[in-house]
Chain A
Amino acid sequence: MSADLVIIVTGILVAVPCALLGTLLVLRQMAMVGDAISHAVLPGIVLAFFISGSLGPLTALAGAGVFGVLTAVLIQALRDTGRVREDSSIGIVFTALFALGVFLISKFASSVHLDLEHVLYGEIAYAPINPLVVGGTYLGPRTFWTLGIVTVLAAGLVLALYKELKVSTFDPALATALGLSPALVHYLLMGAVSVTVVGAFDAVGAILVVAFLIVPPAAAYLVTERLSHMMLVAVLLGTVSAVAGYYLAAALDVAIAGAMTVVAGGLFALAALLSPAHGLLAHAARRYRSRRAFARELVLARLAALGGSAPEEELARALGWERRELARTLRSAARGGLVETAGGEVRVRRARSGAGRERRRGRSTARWPGWR
């Protein structure tokens, strides 16, 4: 298998579990937990190094896994004291554990080769040159195995507990009433996130994991209303980021993980701007349309108060508007068949048919419930 393909597949194997679990994290407003875990596992890696005397991939993974779950437990315990809010609790736990890890490395391991940057910011470009060899048999790139297992675990959790995850994410009280345990679901999810973060950052580095956990699900959240769709869209966006990011990095000769992150960020920006339901442009357009509609309603109301017709100048004075603003509103009202202007005199137009009147009233009352 070519080196390009190994890297791309590795990227996708990070994107898929991250998208599935990240969707749940984003919906539960726990997006920063992935970032916290990716830093907090450092002392686990260092301790595993002390105990085993070497930094094999499995020892590091085991140490990091233990500390990943420990981080989730500590965050929850600190929050449950009722003395600290969730965001502070996350911040305190992960910075303290990270400080402990850096301290342990400097104090006890500075003479040993323990490359901090590589541990934390693993390099996806090394994926093709790290094969898994068991008993002399070549079994393919190591990342395929670690990340393949992670992907199967994450997908298995989501498929097996889809209903439970969904209910406890959107309505924890209902989940409890139904006899499910939101706490158990929470710890299962945290465990899965820990395994994913740990399994993935060894291969691709912490930034890419955090980015894939948060950015594609957040973009998906802007374009869909269903949990299952959100997961699928997030998986798709993550995959696109991995593939496009690789080629971007190859074209510009820059860091691959960074380029994948940047592509994911670009996709999010597109979603934030262009999403038909929740995008910034759609919002602005909706605001503009309702402002115009409100202006038309004001003109109609004022005209009605003036007896159904009035000279344009008088109308502008009564409204306290600029003439230009009034003219603009009158044009749009005339297009909608609401008013007609003849020789400077503005008049409310009678509806030609019952249907037209209904349509107009329906439109009006739908937008301005309190307006008659």
Chain B
Amino acid sequence: MPEILHELVFDYTIRNVALGSAILGVAGGVLGCFAVLRRQSLMGDALAHATLPGVCVAFMLSGSRASVWLLLGAAVSAWIGALVILAIVRGTRIKQDAALGIVLSVFFGAGVVLLTAIARSGAAGQSGLDRFLFGQAASLIWPDVVTMGALAGAALLAVAVLFKEFKLLAFDPAFAASLGYPVRVLDVLLTSLIVVAVIVGIQAVGVVLVVALLIIPAASARQWTDRLSVMVLISALFGAASGVAGALISASGANLPTGPLIVLVATGIFLLSLVTGRRRGLLWSFLRDRRAAPEGLR
């Protein structure tokens, strides 16, 4: 273990991976709280898949694999996906779950179509899709980490500045509207910040697992507190801890993929929280029920 800690400080790759994962964990943890409380946990899933056509178009237009262009393309198309979801939910009688599914599958399908068009022109192989789907934390270089940090920092700053507004939006949007807050604008803004979190994560852990980091730390933190501010902090802590622990475990042996390990650590924290969480742990209510039960029923 001390050896690992030594490498954490001095090994270039491990330091990048651990730092990148921690950044992702914090961003996902904080923004995930709002998504989870607003019953939009799966928003991240839809938006992560919706990035694919943007990545393809960016690649076609710029002709480069420079991650700035691809990230920009990913962000734009995820953002369009988010607006389409909001429009479907507001404008038709389709419910949120189906709207998410529609954007997820249609955008992703369009991305696959574009991808085959690119592959046909001989510019890029399927390897691009592979990396996109499953991420490649080990290939993170220092500029990637800096980009992730800057994006996550901007998103966290926005949350800090608009904390009160987002809190109202999460718990009582009707009340927020009656107070004169621009609920629609805030809604779009919060969703855009989730897009940022997705973008931060895709490169490291891929489409599916970035979803986990938006849901699992937040759902774990929820078991420990009833206060949003505390929940956000605990969630960020859990996210960062999962990120660093996953990165270190994956560095400790061969064939240990970073992304899945981060998610498995986060899942472990979640199960622990579910059973022992201070406010709502299953263990405590079990014991309480036993104490409360009459002698004969024990």
Contact = CB atoms under 8 A, between A and B. Distances in A.
Interface of A: 26, 29-32, 34-35, 39, 81, 83-85, 87-88, 90-92, 95-96, 98-100, 102-103, 106-107, 110, 116-117, 120-121, 207-208, 210-211, 213-215, 217-218, 221-222, 249, 252-255, 257-262, 264-265, 268, 272, 278-280, 283
A34 B116 CA distance: 25
A262 B36 CA distance: 29
Contact of B39 (A87, A92, A107, A110): A87
Interface stretch (B5-13, B62-70, B209-217): B209-217
Contact of A88 (B41, B97, B104, B114): B41
Contact of B211 (A91, A100, A106): A91
A32 to B, nearest CB: 5
Interface stretch (B142-150, B174-182, B226-234, B258-266): B258-266
Interface of B: 36, 39-42, 44-45, 88, 91-102, 104-106, 108-117, 120, 126, 129-130, 133-134, 208-209, 211-212, 214-216, 218-219, 222-223, 255-257, 259-261, 263-264, 267, 270, 274, 277, 280, 282
Q: Which 5 A-B pairs have the closest CB atoms?
A: A261-B109, A265-B106, A95-B212, A258-B112, A211-B105
Contacts of A29: 95-98
Contact of A268 (B102, B134, B274): B102
A168 B87 CA distance: 29
Given A106-B260, A107-B256, A255 B97 contact: no
7 contacts: A87-B41, A95-B208, A103-B257, A106-B255, A116-B134, A261-B109, A280-B92
A268 B84 CA distance: 12
Contacts of B212: 91-92, 95-96, 99
B129 A117 contact: yes
Contact of A32 (B101, B214, B282): B101
Contacts of B111: 258
A33 to B, nearest CB: 9
B109 A260 contact: yes
Contact of A258 (B45, B93, B113, B270): B113
A214 B216 CA distance: 25
